[in-house]
Amino acid sequence: MSTVNLPRSLLALFPGVTKRHEVAPGTVASVIDELDGSIPGLRARLLQEGPTLRPHINVFVDGEPGDLETPVGATSVVHVIPAVSGGST
């Protein structure tokens, strides 16, 4: 199984949800869709119309920047990290 790590500011919107999740391999898109099944509303926080990742959401797969099409392997580690560019207010 792949491992996904979610950021603290995202977890705060979903009380009780843990930081680390085990998901089926596939792509970043399929990983987010699977997480949305168990955490309803999570997809809308990470993706905007397109669909595409929101402008200030970064996803790293095994340490490399990714997008929705990036493959996620069976032993991959995915980090979802809000960009430092996002906090203008």
CB nearer to other proteins: pick between 25 and 36: 36
DSSP characters over 18-62: -SEEEE-SEEHHHHHHHHHHHSTTHHHHHEETTTEE-TTEEEEET
Residue 66: CB minimum distance to other proteins, A: 17
2: its two tokens: 């792949």
**Residues within the interface to other proteins (CB under 8 A):** 9-10, 12-13, 15, 41, 44-46, 48-51, 54, 56-57, 82-83, 86-89
Residue 74: CB minimum distance to other proteins, A: 29
Residue 29: CB minimum distance to other proteins, A: 13
CB nearer to other proteins: pick between 8 and 74: 8
Residues ≥6 apart with Cβ < 8 Å to 84: none
Residues ≥6 apart with Cβ < 8 Å to 87: none
CB nearer to other proteins: pick between 21 and 45: 45
